[in-house]
Amino acid sequence: MTKEIESLERYTTWEEVAPPQNARFVDTKWVLKKKRDEHGKLVKFKARLTARGFTQIPGLDYDETCSAVVRTDTIRPLLAHAVHHDLHTVQYDIESAYLNAPLEDEIYIKPAPMVAITAGKVLRLRKSIYGLKQAARFWGETLAAVLRQRRFLPSVADPALYINHQLSEFVGVHVDDFLFVAKGENEFTSWLSTHLLQSSSLRMILAAGNR
């Protein structure tokens, strides 16, 4: 739980402000899990501070809640294309993805236990946290903006599939996971981490595994 708080503060997820008049607050809670390996052996204890999104009011606390999810009918021909042409395929899992997405809405949260706050102050979110109704939407917009700078454009058939026609690269997005298909790695991993580091001043952790 201490490490989770340190991570949230490192990402400048919130800021302390004076209590505004008539402000609404979203509850937060700790989600605690035991992570086990394939043999059932305990690997680590995991804690995540989340918003209780069900306390948010549509039209007041949030509007759209959509997120990019590539369809199975899109993944199948993409993988068939990769196999037929012997292309490079990598699946990415971006840790703490939502914390990279700036929050455009004005959201105040009630601190959960162990979150220290100055007396007389309240917490205003600067970044999306897990549990918020609009978190996936803002993350999707952040990722799309980054991909566009490498000349990726969403497919007309499936908006969650991005195509770079110049380099023949494909990216199928499933919220905070995505599949990269191309003729080669093309330094895509280093480009993505460096670009996000430059554009948002945040540390992105990319875990890539060949498929």
- Taking only the tens place, the pLDDT of each residue in 97-109 is 888 889 988 999 9
pLDDT the model gives residue 10: 86
Q: What is the mean pLDDT of the chain?
A: 87
pTM: 0.80
Strands 14-17 and 88-94 turn out to be unpaired
pLDDT the model gives residue 200: 39
- Listing DSSP states for 11-72 in one string gives TT-EEEEPPPTT--EE-EEEEEEEEE-TT--EEEEEEEEEE-GGG--BTTTBS-----B--H
pLDDT the model gives residue 66: 85
Q: Write the pLDDT tens digit of every residue in 108-143.
A: 998 888 998 998 899 999 999 999 999 999 999 999
Cα angle 112, 118, 123; round to 5: 50
pLDDT the model gives residue 202: 35
pLDDT the model gives residue 80: 95
What do you get for the CA distance between the two ends of the chain, in Å? 33
**Percent of the chain with pLDDT strictly greater than 90:** 55
pLDDT the model gives residue 196: 63
CA–CA separation, 205 and 126 (whole Å): 20
Identify which of 179, 209, 13, 207 has the alpha carbon closest to the alpha carbon of residue 93: 207
Give the dihedral of Cα atoms 97, 128, 102, 113; nearest 10 deg: -110
pLDDT the model gives residue 14: 94
pLDDT the model gives residue 186: 86
Identify which of 8, 58, 45 has the alpha carbon closest to the alpha carbon of residue 28: 8
- Tens digits of pLDDT across the chain (211 residues): 998 998 898 889 999 999 888 888 999 999 999 989 889 999 989 899 999 999 898 888 888 888 889 999 999 999 999 999 999 998 888 877 888 889 988 999 988 889 989 988 999 999 999 999 999 999 999 999 999 999 999 999 999 999 999 999 999 999 888 899 999 888 888 888 877 644 433 344 444 555 5
Domain ranges of the chain: 2-210
Contact indicator for 146, 133 with CB cutoff of 8 Å: no
The three-state secondary structure class of 199 is helix
CA–CA separation, 147 and 137 (whole Å): 15
**Percent of the chain with pLDDT strictly greater than 70:** 92
